[in-house]
Structure 1
């Protein structure tokens, strides 16, 4: 059974990485999600993909240069599906309180060693406070982030995000003690899946939006797929 994850909530159906997007995902019966994290200036985990505000809010500036209270008042519905109501940038804590997902993939973008350390410690503290350790996998393509996870939060499940094949993603995942390999779907072959299984890795593929591709990857035997259209995925594959 291939499990379905909503990408940034339900990116194709509602503004990405917003509360309404994650609620839309849950409305489809999809109880697993993927989201992106950046630290605010005052150290809170904010759910937004880019390091800058421009694409989703139209504002100038970096996420890291604003306090959480400021960010939580900025409307982030730009550039996605049309939405009538403002959709503020959420704190991760707010999503933990309001969205009952069975599993969360929390992606941390590239970071300096200091920033990776601060981010990992913030995730660990919030996850423990909400009692969600068994429902979380922290993913990253950043070696600094994966090293910080292994060093500072060894009990949290880790995943490597692999977009390109210039390094063997399976070896990199193993070297960082990962349980999950989040693969760009174009890198997913039956041979790579077989090797991942032999190494004890679960494989999640992204971003999968066409029904024929969903079926093909499910037939390959991927553990999960991440989609902008969780409703379409449910209609195509059934409830995963």
Structure 2
């Protein structure tokens, strides 16, 4: 059975990477989520996709230039679906406290080796605090991040995010002892999915928003799909 992950919560149904979005995902019946992390100026894990604040908050500057206390005052409803109430940028800790997901894909964007180490170690601390070590996977397209995760938090599962065809994603995933390969839907050929699974990898596909593609990927045997519309995925594939 193909699992369903809500992309940035329920990005097509509520402002992405906000508490409202993750609550909408859970309300749809989807118990797994994908989200993006950046460190604040004071080293807290903030749930936001872009390095820059502009797209989702309308504010100038970088996430890393502001403290967590400043970031949670910013409204992340820009360039998204209409929403009646302010949606602050959340701390990851807030989501761990308030959202009962069965599994979390925590994506870390490319960053410096120092910040990659700090990020994975901070994730590990939170996972220990909330007893989520077996419910999270650190994912990234960055080799620096995967190297840091393998070296400094080897007890947490890792996943390679891949949207390129000019290198061997299966080989790279195995090099970093990954458990999951997260493929762009453009790369989700049945043969590649089967090769990755034969190598022992869980294959997750993003971003899958069309019912026809959802059904096709399930027929290919994809282990999971990541969608902006978890409610639609449930309606298409049934309860997972």
Normalised by the length of structure 1, the TM-score is: 0.99
1:133 is aligned to 2:133: yes
Counterpart Cα distance in 2 of 1:108 and 1:155: 17
* Alignment match, 1:161: 161
Root mean square deviation of aligned Cα: 0.5
Counterpart Cα distance in 1 of 2:29 and 2:54: 32
Q: 1:111-167 CA distances to partner (integer Å, 9 max, x unpaired)?
A: 111110111111111111110001001100000000000000000000000011111
Counterpart Cα distance in 2 of 1:188 and 1:210: 14
Counterpart Cα distance in 2 of 1:165 and 1:128: 36
Q: 1:51-92 CA distances to partner (integer Å, 9 max, x unpaired)?
A: 010000000000000000000110001111000100000000
Counterpart Cα distance in 2 of 1:118 and 1:137: 16
CA apart distance, 1:198: 1.3
Secondary structure of 1:205's counterpart equals: strand
1:180 is aligned to 2:180: yes
* Alignment match, 2:102: 102
Count residues in correspondence: 240
CA apart distance, 1:191: 1.0
Counterpart Cα distance in 2 of 1:188 and 1:141: 16
Q: 1:167-222 CA distances to partner (integer Å, 9 max, x unpaired)?
A: 11101101111000000011011111111111100000000000000000010000
CA apart distance, 1:22: 0.2
1:13 is aligned to 2:9: no
Counterpart Cα distance in 2 of 1:111 and 1:197: 29
* Alignment match, 1:56: 56
* Alignment match, 1:206: 206
Secondary structure of 2:134's counterpart equals: helix
* Alignment match, 1:235: 235
Secondary structure of 2:193's counterpart equals: helix
* Alignment match, 2:78: 78
* Alignment match, 1:43: 43
Unaligned runs of 5+ in 1: none
Normalised by the length of structure 2, the TM-score is: 0.99
Runs ≥4 residues deviating over 2 A: none
Range that drifts further, 143-152 or 190-199 = 190-199
CA apart distance, 1:239: 1.1
Secondary structure of 2:70's counterpart equals: helix
Counterpart Cα distance in 1 of 2:29 and 2:154: 31
* Alignment match, 1:120: 120
Counterpart Cα distance in 1 of 2:125 and 2:176: 21
* Alignment match, 1:216: 216
Secondary structure of 2:200's counterpart equals: coil
